Chains A and B, each alone.
Chain A
Amino acid sequence: MCTTCGCGDTELVPVELHEKILAGNDRAARHNREHFLEAGVLAINLMGSPGAGKTAVLEATARAGAGKKWRLGAVSADLATDNDAVRLEKAGIPSRAITTGQACHLDAELVHRSLHDIPWQQTDVFFIENVGNLVCPAIYDLGQAANVVVLSVTEGEDKPLKYPTMFLAADLVLVSKCDLIPHLDFDLAKLDDALARVNPKPNVIRLSARTGEGVDQWIGWLEKRRLEKGLVGRIAGLAAHVHAPAGGRDQKR
């Protein structure tokens, strides 16, 4: 109120906030992250273009992880269909689909709701297979321990320069479909160079889900992340509070 003469007029005031617009999502992501760490679960946000081979990478991971007796789990997001979750179930990874409708990315709240519907606490490594998209998923923290971007050799070496935000966010780039390189003009050195110009700590593993090339290295990378986070030797399933099944609107299977 006007304090000069007490006339009752309104007053224009500047309110300084300096607050991230995604602060609400970040709060939900912190909550997810606490859940994963308390339960001894390594959560991986797996991103990439549609058709980059994200699901095939997870199928190969299931085959290789079986030897380590890892318990894997996943949620798999697409605008429509539960095809990828069906594939992952067939590969031995307990999975749920998150159908996002028209939404081009997952957010932390969607992931949280999906966790109500799957025994994620009983896993060692839990994959959040994001919507196939190199733009929107990059900016949403989901509570993951690491971001992994799958880039197939058919997409071209300059993808990091075209989508710098996504490749800056990548803790690891998995170069997929490497068995196709002899049939393409793809130059791995050019990809390494492009990545080094958008990410100060580039990390690349070359992989073929079809031949198994690079899969051991990828499994080793996951194992190292589990060690770094203090997750090896933890008894999974001891989450601080239990998520009762909620039958969320977005989960299937």
Chain B
Amino acid sequence: MHEYSLVEALISRVEAEAKKRQAVRVHTLSVRVGELAGVDPELFQTAYDTFRAGTLCAETTLVVKRIPASWSCPRCRAAIPRGEVLRCAACDVPARLDDGADALTLDGIDMEVP
């Protein structure tokens, strides 16, 4: 259940940003979860709902966007279908993971500032 430590890191980062901008409320957090980021989006949401009590994010909506994993050839750009061997048969080179599929990213915060 590393989702709890991830939520802890998320809330610390949000609190630091809110303090820097003297925010009075934080309305929404936007997070992207790549399919290969090693994070279960539902567990992440559950961990957030548990952990946010008593923090600046207690009333803050978390919006999670899932990024599916996709692979392509770095040379000819052909898509490598899911579940296939991760190598371009035409170019004989290893496939490349498309952007965002292995990342857990805090995209943005909507906050109320004076």
Contact = CB atoms under 8 A, between A and B. Distances in A.
Contacts of A21: 6, 9-10, 13, 31, 104-106
State the main secondary structure of chain B at its contact with A. mixed
B6 A22 contact: yes
B103 interface: yes
A165 B110 contact: no
Interface residues of B, number: 41
A166 B109 CA distance: 30
B27 interface: yes
Interface stretch (A30-38, A64-72, A195-203): A195-203
Nearest to B37: A139
A11 interface: yes
B41 interface: no
Contacts of A201: 94
A197 B105 CA distance: 25
A8 B24 CA distance: 13
Interface in B1-17: 1-2, 5-6, 9-10, 12-13, 17
A138 interface: yes
B108 A16 contact: yes
B85 A22 contact: no
Nearest to B21: A15
Interface of B: 1-2, 5-6, 9-10, 12-13, 17, 21, 24-25, 27, 31, 36-39, 71, 83-87, 94-97, 102-114
13 contacts: A10-B114, A12-B27, A13-B111, A13-B112, A17-B108, A17-B109, A21-B10, A138-B38, A164-B36, A165-B36, A196-B85, A200-B71, A200-B95
Given A15-B111, A21-B6, 4 more contacts: A11-B112, A19-B105, A136-B38, A196-B85
The 6 A-B residue pairs with the shortest CB-CB distance, nearest first, are A200-B94, A139-B38, A136-B2, A200-B86, A165-B38, A196-B85
